[in-house]
Amino acid sequence: VAGPARWEYLPGKPADVWAYSDANAPDAAAQVPGPMLVGRVGDRVTVHLRNALPETTTIHWHGLKVPAAHDGSHVSQKPVMPGETFTYEFTLTDAGTFWFHPHLDSENQIERGLYAPIVVRGGGADDIDIDIEVDAERMFVLDDVKVESTGKLSETITPLDLMVGRLGNVLLVNGRKQPQLSTRAGARERWRLLNAANGTFFNVTLPGHKLRVIAWDGGLLPEPYETDTLVIAPGERYEVLVDLAGGDGDTLTLQTLFYDRGHDLPDFGPRPLLTLELDGAVTGPRPALPTKWGDVKALAVDASTPVRKLLLEEEEAATPADEPRFFINKEAFPDVTPISVGMDDLEIWEVTNDATMDHPFHLHGTFFQVLDQPVLGWKDTVNVPQKGTVRFAVRFDNPGAWMFHCHILEHADRGMMGLLDVKH
Ligand code: C2O
Ligand code: CU
Ligand code: CU
């Protein structure tokens, strides 16, 4: 159920939010983020959505390869009217970290609390995904909200918010400001990180620790890699393993660092996301890491592979009463020419960002492989840096009408969205 609810971003000061609740759960309480959907590859999923909001909505299953008619986008279904229901049905095809959210008025609906994580685990007993031995597995859904001193969500949307995506003053992990978790020194943990913010980028670091990145949007990488900091653009997901250093009684703080995404956004310095209290220690030898990781085959692109060019542009508001506009190949949604491809076609998409801020580019319906970089992996959302170009290879293996767009929701809702037809 999607409907109005109360949620405390500031302790003791509830805000009026919009949130998902699981009507089958014993307490059926609405929560931000919404109830996590957990399944295994091969599972058949049925979700009966009831719209208890005062406006139309849909659910989009970000990253899941669902049939086009169940994708919840503008082109896949009619809006679900207030008081109405819609049933989504699909089979889980890939292990990984995904999420669901509305695809109508998303800058407003997601900001108000309508988003929730999805975990899909591997399918068989011998699946690599479930072979990774850890002491704990956690989901961290990152977001930010603009909250007034009363605890209410601010209704004020500034021209800067429209230009760069709504900027919050409170950072959230799983709907809470700086939550405190308890764990043990020496623990190996698997963290699933997801950025559900409208426009805020996170640049995650755990001081004194390496993050071992094991998965991207579309599942496990063929080989993990280590990093000190991890930039997560809106819409993206990463999975990391961390070996927690320190002793019993220590406190570790997961932080986000400044990342320059353009438009002269201020550097707030390191900001805390959550704290981990080390209570006790893991004894005994650390479990061995798997020797085999994701089974990712490189798409066979070569000089003959067709290259499709997409140009991202922005236009500042002409007067204070106007809003900025955002374009893909000079067109602004809904006035766009759909791209048409054949089933199983292989293409290279070359996305050039002519703007002075980053735009995270998201494609529905299938995963792609980013080219010109050392790591091979599946993604559905990739950051295209300001004045930069990203190329990715994609095979269209899911027929129907799909969308692609910038995942800064204010941009998507102001034109930076396009249509793709994959013919049978
Ligand atoms: Cu997460 Cu079309 O979106
Ligand atoms: Cu999506
Ligand atoms: Cu954008």
* Ligand 1 and 62: CB distance under 6 A: yes
Region 18-43: mean pLDDT is 95
Dihedral of CA 66/70/73/76: which sign?
A: positive
As a whole number of Å, the end-to-end CA separation of the chain is 34
Kindly tell me if the per-residue pLDDT of 424 is higher than 90.
no
Q: What b/e string do you get for 362-396 counting C-beta neighbours within 10 Å, with b at 16 or more?
A: bbbbbbbbbbeeeebbbbbbbbbebeebbbbbbbb
How far away, in angstroms, is 365 Cα from ligand 2 center? 8
* Ligand 1 and 411: CB distance under 6 A: no
- Report the DSSP beta bridge partners of residue 348: 307, 393
What per-residue confidence (pLDDT) applies to 285?
A: 84
Residue among 275, 213, 278 at smallest CA distance from 242 = 213
* Ligand 1 and 235: CB distance under 6 A: yes
* Ligand 1 and 362: CB distance under 6 A: yes
pLDDT tens for 338-378 read: 999 999 999 999 999 999 999 999 999 999 999 999 999 99
Ligand 1 closest atom vs CA 364: 2
Report the share of the chain in percent with pLDDT over 70: 100
Mean pLDDT of the chain: 96
What per-residue confidence (pLDDT) applies to 99?
A: 98
Region 237-244: mean pLDDT is 97
Picking from 129-138, 296-305, 382-391, which range would have the lowest pLDDT averaged per residue? 129-138
pLDDT band of 131, cuts 50, 70, 90:
confident
Residue among 29, 18, 23, 89 at smallest CA distance from 56 = 18
Indicate which ligand has the atom closest to the C-alpha of 409.
Answer: 3
How far away, in angstroms, is 361 Cα from ligand 1 center? 10
What per-residue confidence (pLDDT) applies to 130?
A: 75
Kindly tell me if the per-residue pLDDT of 127 is higher than 90.
no
What per-residue confidence (pLDDT) applies to 126?
A: 67
Pairing of strands 202-205, 2-10: unpaired
pLDDT tens for 55-107 read: 999 999 999 999 999 999 999 999 999 999 999 999 999 999 999 999 999 99
What per-residue confidence (pLDDT) applies to 380?
A: 98
Residues 6+ apart with CB under 8 A from 314: 163, 324, 325, 326, 327, 355, 356, 357, 411
How far away, in angstroms, is 336 Cα from ligand 2 center? 18
How far away, in angstroms, is 34 Cα from ligand 1 center? 16
What per-residue confidence (pLDDT) applies to 286?
A: 82
* Ligand 1 and 417: CB distance under 6 A: no
pLDDT band of 259, cuts 50, 70, 90:
very high
pLDDT tens for 208-228 read: 999 999 999 999 999 999 999
Region 287-310: mean pLDDT is 95
* Ligand 1 and 237: CB distance under 6 A: no
This prediction has a pTM of: 0.97
Instruction: Give the residue, by CA position, lying nearest to ligand 1 atom 3.
Output: 62
How far away, in angstroms, is 40 Cα from ligand 1 center? 22
pLDDT tens for 158-169 read: 999 999 999 999
Residues 6+ apart with CB under 8 A from 38: 118, 119, 120, 121
Kindly tell me if the per-residue pLDDT of 125 is higher than 80.
no
* Ligand 1 and 103: CB distance under 6 A: yes
Residue by residue, DSSP assigns 120-180 as EE-SSTT-GGGT---SEEEEEEEEEE-B-TTSPBP----HHHHHH-PPPSEEEETTEES-E
Cα separation, 231 vs 254, whole angstroms: 13
SS (H, E, C) 332-345: ECCECCCEEEECCC
Kindly tell me if the per-residue pLDDT of 420 is higher than 90.
yes
How far away, in angstroms, is 367 Cα from ligand 1 center? 13
